[in-house]
Amino acid sequence: MTDFGPNSGSLDGQVDGQTAESWSTIIAQFADANIYQTWAYGAVRWGERHLSHLVIRRNGQVLAAAQLRIARMPLIPSGVAYLRWGPMCQINRGLLNPAVVVAMISRLREEYAKRRGLALYVIPNAFAGSDRAAVFQNALAGSGLHSEPALGHYRTVVVDLEPAEEDLRKRLDKKWRNQLNGSEKNGLVLEMSDGPEAYREFLRLYEAMRARKQFDTSVDVNQFARIHELLSGLARTQVFLARKDGEAIGALVCSLMGDTAIYLLGATNEKAMELKAANFLQWRVMLWLKERGARWYDLGGIDPEANPGGYHFKSGLGGVDQTHLPPHICRGSLLSAGISAYLKRRWRAKPR
């Protein structure tokens, strides 16, 4: 029996039955909440009818929660239950309880792999080598989920926002800091908003940048626009604009949930490059996040080989190069094993 302490009480599990409003209330309670676990992201990215939710409570208090995508094959009674950056198991201002993680992973396996016969596909929200990762690795292995390193890892740079502003600035790479110093003398003005017009300004900059640079991307900025419109309250994404003489020359879209912010999208024009607006934006965003209590700033992924310029820029912000735990899989039936192999190939080639 899982030990939750002397006054633990029994655990109650709730499968599905959530609304957008009730789910938003639930995830707002977690320090490890993230945009990929929001109803808005799931509804836009996968469709509401493909979502499933599992919540466990003790004495009426939420302990853990997860939003999954259920992907089924036509005419075949099997498929995959896909969980991205979850489950959420750390309540705001609390420590991660290993017993809660064990209980939640066990409930996920019971519901989706055993009862529904699906392949359970979990991408944990934990960086390799951390205490948090060790807790999740033990819980996943104990419930029969196997690591799949061949599917790749999420690699990013994470900035610790706890130090004082002066110390954060000292941590910047010398060249990056010099560029920031120059940008602050160029008369740039920061504007921030969570409204639709700000996102439309970002879109105009982004489309012009893509037409100019002719780069390939798996990111659908219009899909993120719909997610932005559906998000509400503190979960709403924030748009930061750098203006020069009233003109928006650079933009950054950021999500802050729980104790971590994620850099989602960015765009600049040629004038922004000349005035080092990207440095100006990232620095000012870091300070804004720090003021609002964020502990960590995830710079949204790096790929040193495919995008060396982006890797070099993000490496200059004084963060740490980190990698998520790989996906873990539990096959619910023989049929689901073959289907999961097929879907893994698809998901590996397409954005999730």
Residue 5 has pLDDT above 60, yes or no: no
pLDDT at 341: 59
Which of 170-174, 222-226, 251-255, 346-350 has the lowest average pLDDT?
346-350
For domain 157-322, which CATH number applies: 3.40.50.2000, 3.90.1580.10, 3.40.630.30, 1.10.8.60?
A: 3.40.630.30
pTM of the model: 0.91
pLDDT at 350: 45
pLDDT, mean of residues 54-73: 94
| Domain locations in the chain as residue ranges | 11-153+324-349, 157-322
pLDDT at 150: 82
Residue 6 has pLDDT above 90, yes or no: no
Spatial separation of the C-alpha atoms in residues 67 and 40, rounded to whole Å: 11
* pLDDT tens per residue across span 179-210: 999 999 999 999 999 999 999 999 999 999 88
Higher-pLDDT residue of 92, 343: 92
Any idea what the Cα angle at residue 6 is, between residues 3 and 8, rounded to 5°? 65
Whether 11-153+324-349 and 157-322 share one fold: the answer is yes
Task: For the chain, give the percent of residues with pLDDT over 90.
Answer: 80
pLDDT at 217: 74
SS3 content of the chain, % helix, strand, coil (to 5): 40, 25, 30
Q: Given pLDDT bands bounded at 50, 70 and 90, which one contains residue 352? A: very low
Q: Position of tokens 């198991």?
A: 89
* pLDDT tens per residue across span 134-144: 999 999 999 99
pLDDT at 78: 76
Give me the CATH code for the 11-153+324-349 domain, please.
Answer: 3.40.630.30
CA atoms within 13 A on the CB side of 94: 15
pLDDT at 75: 61
| Tokens coding 15 | 């499968």
* pLDDT tens per residue across span 20-47: 999 999 999 999 999 999 999 999 999 9
Spatial separation of the C-alpha atoms in residues 343 and 330, rounded to whole Å: 14
pLDDT, mean of residues 229-251: 94
pLDDT at 212: 87
Residue 7 has pLDDT above 80, yes or no: no
Q: Given pLDDT bands bounded at 50, 70 and 90, which one contains residue 153? A: confident
Q: Given pLDDT bands bounded at 50, 70 and 90, which one contains residue 340? A: low
| Tokens coding 152 | 């790749």
Residue 3 has pLDDT above 60, yes or no: no
pLDDT at 296: 98
CA-wise closest residue to 53 among 27, 88, 17, 29: 17
pLDDT, mean of residues 75-80: 74
pLDDT at 219: 80
